[in-house]
Amino acid sequence: MISGMDHSPDRLPTTEAAVTALRALAAEYAREIEVTHDIGADRTTRRSAAGIGVTTDPDGSLPHEAYIEFGGLPRVSVRLYPEDDALITVEDIECPDIPRDDVPAFLRSVFAGLAHVRARRFPPGYRLVVPLPGDRAHVEYIPGVLLTPWLSRHVR
């Protein structure tokens, strides 16, 4: 093993590695998956300062971004960014800044029914809670008007 390099199976070093992991997850949960790739600094969403006609990063590499939509309920989409993070949307609730390595675990919690909505009476409010490995959880605020039927079924 090369020192300083992490070769753990949960490590997703590239966008393509993450897409491959998400395809396997879709097959595991019998969900349809649609993937759209954007490659090049002129095509990715966070590269507005790249300049006209510039397709590579300053180091010469091509940034790779992917947008993934899963079929079925809950409605889930994932935007994988070249900067090793992702935006996951569950039933119109955006969960930004999810580390790329946590995306499969996040989706596994959602698809397996571990994700739930925490309700609070006073002050009234809802939060989407998605358990992650290592006794961690991602918590996202849900405006009351965005409580879909799927989210309502998972209120605790």
pLDDT at 128 exceeding the cut of 90: yes
- Token code pair at residue 95: 């969960």
* Higher per-residue pLDDT: 120 or 1: 120
Integer Cα distance of 114 and 72 in angstroms? 17
According to the model, what pLDDT value does residue 8 have?
Answer: 45
Q: For residue range 41-61, what is the model confidence (pLDDT) as tens digits?
A: 656 665 545 555 555 555 556
Distance in angstroms (rounded) separating the CA atoms of residues 156 and 116: 7
- Among 13-17, 39-43, 74-78, 150-154, whose mean pLDDT is lowest? 39-43
pLDDT at position 145 is 77
Question: What's the chain's average pLDDT?
Answer: 85
pLDDT in tens, 86-118: 999 999 999 999 999 999 999 999 999 999 999
What local confidence, expressed as pLDDT, does residue 43 receive?
63
Mean pLDDT of 61-75: 89
Q: Token pair 């993937």 is at which residue? A: 35
Phi, psi (degrees; rounded to nearest 5) at 34: -130, 125
